[in-house]
């Protein structure tokens, strides 16, 4: 569903449907701040930091820098998987996978005002996320991908 100002969830309108994922492992040698600046100069109004291989201390430092840049650009900031890093950096929310904290636990920790999204891989998971109050649902993989091993078959 979309509206002029964004796409709708069950409770709130989120920004532009362009949802960028900033992943250091995909930067291909480019400085991450340059990649981030390019995204922010474009239409990105919701950005997820995804750094699965990064140690917590390094991720915290990077997330703090990304938070400062996204805030200055008027872009909402989501941290992948890590509720602790999202809270510590005052991120706008967190994106959870199926193996991360349960949605209801993340909601208790983050509060009602924070955005919580969840990855789903079949209709049952998507329905459960909707019933659980996820602000948005990622579904896939739709097509095969070389950027990560999902462990799931493509649905497209």
Domains of the chain: 15-139 (3.20.20.70)
CB burial class (10 A; 0-12, 13-18, 19+) of residue 17?
A: middle
The residues carrying an active-site annotation are 50, 119, 148
Helix (H) or strand (E) holding 48: strand 46-49
Which tens digit of pLDDT belongs to each residue from 34-60? Answer: 999 999 998 899 999 999 999 999 999
Quote the pTM value. 0.85
Which tens digit of pLDDT belongs to each residue from 91-125? Answer: 999 999 999 999 999 999 999 999 999 999 999 99
Using DSSP's 3-state secondary structure scheme, residue 35 falls into helix
β-sheet bridge partners, residue 116: 94
């Amino acid at each position: 569903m979309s509206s002029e100002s964004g796409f709708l969830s069950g409770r709130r309108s989120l920004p532009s449907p362009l949802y960028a994922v900033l992943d250091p492992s995909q930067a291909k040698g480019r400085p991450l701040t340059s990649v981030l600046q390019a995204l922010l100069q474009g239409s990105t109004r919701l950005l997820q930091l995804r750094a699965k291989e990064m140690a917590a201390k390094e991720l915290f430092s990077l997330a703090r820098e990304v938070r400062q840049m996204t805030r200055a650009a008027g872009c909402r900031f989501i941290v992948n998987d890590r509720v602790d890093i999202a809270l510590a950096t005052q991120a706008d929310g967190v994106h959870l996978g199926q193996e991360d904290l349960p949605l209801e636990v993340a909601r208790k920790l983050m509060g009602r005002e924070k955005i919580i999204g969840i990855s789903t891989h079949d209709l049952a998971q998507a329905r459960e996320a909707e019933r659980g109050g996820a602000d948005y649902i990622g579904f896939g993989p739709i097509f095969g991908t070389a950027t990560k091993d999902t462990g799931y078959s493509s649905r497209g």
